[in-house]
Chains A and B, each alone.
Chain A
Amino acid sequence: MKIIVAFAICTGTWAQTGVDRPQLGKMLDANGAVRTVYGIAASVMLGDVEMSGVISSACSKAFCLAKTETSIVSAMGSVDTPAGPAMFAFDGDSAFVWFPRSRQLAKWHDGVLDVLDSSIEGEVLSIRASAGSLEFAVRRFKKDVWIVKLDGGGVGFLPHSTGPVMLIPGGVVYAAKGEIAIRDVRLPLEEVTAFHQMSVNYLQVRAGGLDYSLRIDSGRETLFQLPGVSQ
């Protein structure tokens, strides 16, 4: 009871307040530039170009990684990598990275990249660090999408996936015929070609040459368009 009383006194006297611009995350625009997306759902503004020449990017709650043709760039600097795009799976202060062109797995931490052994079969569509283990969404036989662990053990199966897949904490987002599926929600969208992780709460969806933002918070799944940029 004493605690409660003390608490009650403090609220009226010393409450601290602060306010700033909300950010949805960082998008990769059609020109290969990374920009911060400001605002709230369905009312956003794009910030200035923060980095260009980017082919893959992703952000966790704590930090962002950007993949150029031959390196991964972070706030800690740049590190050489295999060529081509990359997929990221954040794991606290580090991130697993999959290089689809060379089919290599690595772990990024503290600005350093360590190559890991892997023998994943099939076309890797997405990776996720979950409860201390790594999971892959892989398309096999150019058809079915499986969610498997690093050792190949099956975790799940996506029978209706026809396009890109993104493993998210506790779920999966995938493009099916004319729609995006997330949990039990179906959002109509044609020609989905890619997902990028803008932040913990938002994915960037590229479809039909346009960019969208998909809120992935459970129960608040929303899809809206991001403003275009001149090319």
Chain B
Amino acid sequence: MKALLLIALLPLAAKAQLTIYAVNGTTETSVNSSYSFGQVPLNTTSDAHFRIYNIGSAPVSVNVTLGGAGFTFDSPLLPFVILAYSAVSQTLNITVHFAAASTAGYSASLQINSLSVILLGSGVSAPTLSSVSGCSTGTPFNFGSVRAGSSATCTFVLQNLNPQTITVSSIVINGLGFTGPYGVTAPLTLQAGTSVSFSVNFTPPGAILYTGTLVVGTQSYALRGTGQPPPLPTPSLQFDLGANASAQQRVLTMTIPGGSPVAATGYVNLAFKPSTAVVADDSAIVFLANGSRTIPFSVSVGATHALLNGLGSAAFQTGTTAGTVTFTVTTAAAMTGDPTTPFVIFGAPVMLDSPPNASKARLGWLDITIVGADNTYTTSLLSFSFFDTAGNAISSAVNVDVALMFKTYYATVKAGGSSFRALVSFPVTGSAAAIGSVTVTMTKAAGPASTGRLTFQ
């Protein structure tokens, strides 16, 4: 009789040995007779993890069955023996999956030996997420290119299109560079037909592509954004000391105020606009390093000086035409401010390149050769004053109109600059022995230029 009583009590003792907990991360919550999955969006799966302990003094062999549409489970091989007074590592862990196929209520019976738990859940349409501003409208939600260290904000709207109230258990942002959500706190309840807006920030630490996720309940949405290098401060172009003028070789340097926050490469280009309409350009205005109007530059992180064509400076010619040389820095990197620097060349009297030559070697002629440049292209008159060998003036000054000659010449050389080699020859009747010297004055709007006294050779 005593033995029969023990046998009769065993099932009760065995039942009392098992306890079941729902596990969420490191948190265990005791489960009694039922467990609710809550609202689960259609076509998604919600998982619940359960842990079964044996708190009795004897091992228990455990079987698990699950009955009910929409619910499935995973477990170790069954039956599973749980040792007495089981520690966490000795428990039976099962995962129940709930996937709703329609907007309806669902239930199932989870049977663990004699332990019975009713599982509940309902299928709802997932809240609709859309971006309002600050990122692309489709997934992945793309924040585009954002300078490293700067922020871009994307505003989202979460809308409940269900005829019933839904609960959004969580809104979580994952991924380096992405933060939020801002303006909303989960869990939150959305009445039928209502919506809530919130924002997500993208702050790229560096200049690379970033990806992340926005998880709304069980729905996951991809986030994307590209970090752009910080902008290059407006480069400062400096010229060596000296008044700007034609027929110079000047030196250009390029500095980055405060140092460059990024490594950058690009080009320094020069363009020329003459102040005269006589010519459209002056081809002598070039960088000397390569004879062109473009030189490459490079600057390293932290550097205050850029390398121009690999060197600390670049020389350029100012040509022989008055006008404005505009230097422009171009780079693929972002750059702040105005990248152009003007270099103005003003009009000047005729520049004599070398001492003019006065010769009477050719029998019957006085030949006067003048090499120079007229950067305004306006020379119109040459005035010659002749002197005898004693230095006395011979008659009055002789004026020669050269306007047409120069006009024709400059039309021929086009962008070749205003440099010229002019030969003026005077016929002499009889001996020229008494003619000793000449002074030539070249007249133009910018002022006259005189050769000084030239002695005939």
Contacts and interface: CB of A to CB of B under 8 A. Distances in A.
Contacts of B10: none
A12 B398 contact: yes
B93 to A, nearest CB: 74
A184 interface: no
Contact of A228 (B289, B320, B372): B289
Nearest to B382: A17
Interface residues of A, number: 41
Contact of B424 (A10, A16, A46): A16
B392 to A, nearest CB: 10
B434 A4 contact: yes
Nearest to B392: A4
Contacts of A229: 290-291
Contacts of B425: 15-17
Contact of A226 (B283, B288, B421, B431): B288
Interface in A87-113: none
A217 B248 CA distance: 19
B400 interface: yes
Interface stretch (B220-228, B405-413, B446-454): B405-413
- The dominant DSSP class at the A interface is mixed
A217 B352 CA distance: 14
A17 B405 contact: yes
A100 B428 CA distance: 50
Interface stretch (A18-26, A78-86, A157-165): A18-26
Interface string B375-388: 00000000010101
Contacts, number: 147
Contact of A17 (B315, B402, B434): B402
B434 A43 contact: no
Interface in B278-301: 283-284, 286, 288-291
Contacts of A21: 413, 416, 419-421
B402 A20 contact: no
Contacts of A134: none
Contacts of B398: 8, 11-12, 15
B247 interface: yes
Contacts of A220: 354-355
Contacts of B431: 3
A40 B291 contact: no
Interface string B419-457: 111111111111111110000000000000000000000
B283 A45 contact: yes
Contact of B417 (A16, A41, A43, A230): A43
Nearest to B318: A43
A227 interface: yes
A69 B329 CA distance: 44
B353 interface: yes
B388 A4 contact: yes
Given A10-B427, A18-B422, A225 B249 contact: yes
B372 A40 contact: yes
A142 interface: no
B122 interface: no
Contacts of A225: 249, 288, 315
Given A22-B419, A42-B249, A225-B288, A7 B394 contact: yes
A119 B372 CA distance: 46
B434 A3 contact: yes
B354 A227 contact: no
A16 B428 CA distance: 12
B313 to A, nearest CB: 12
A45 B428 contact: no
A141 interface: no
Contact of B291 (A3, A14, A22, A46): A46
Contacts of A227: 286, 288, 290-291, 317
A14 B427 contact: yes
Nearest to B421: A22
A43 B422 contact: no
Interface centre among A14, A17, A21 (most CB of B within 10 A): A17
Given A3-B429, A17-B402, A217-B354, A43 B317 contact: yes
A15 B288 CA distance: 40
Contacts of A215: 354
B419 A38 contact: yes
Contacts of A226: 288
B99 interface: no
Contacts of B424: 15-17
A39 B429 contact: no
A201 B354 contact: yes
A10 B429 contact: yes
A44 interface: yes
B395 interface: yes
Contacts of A20: 409, 420-421
B426 A7 contact: yes
A10 B413 contact: no
Contact of B416 (A3, A7, A38): A38
B317 A230 contact: no
Interface string A209-221: 0100001010010
A6 interface: yes
B426 A15 contact: yes
A9 B371 CA distance: 26
Interface centre among A2, A7, A21 (most CB of B within 10 A): A7
A211 to B, nearest CB: 9
A94 B379 CA distance: 40
B171 interface: no
Nearest to B430: A3
Contact of A40 (B247, B366, B402): B247
Contacts of B417: 39, 43, 45
A11 B394 CA distance: 11
Interface in A153-187: none
B351 interface: yes
Contact of B284 (A4, A23, A45): A45
A19 B419 contact: no
B409 A19 contact: yes
Contact of A44 (B284, B420, B422): B284
6 contacts: A3-B432, A15-B398, A17-B425, A38-B419, A43-B284, A227-B291
Interface of A: 2-4, 6-12, 14-23, 38-46, 201, 210, 215, 217, 220, 224-230
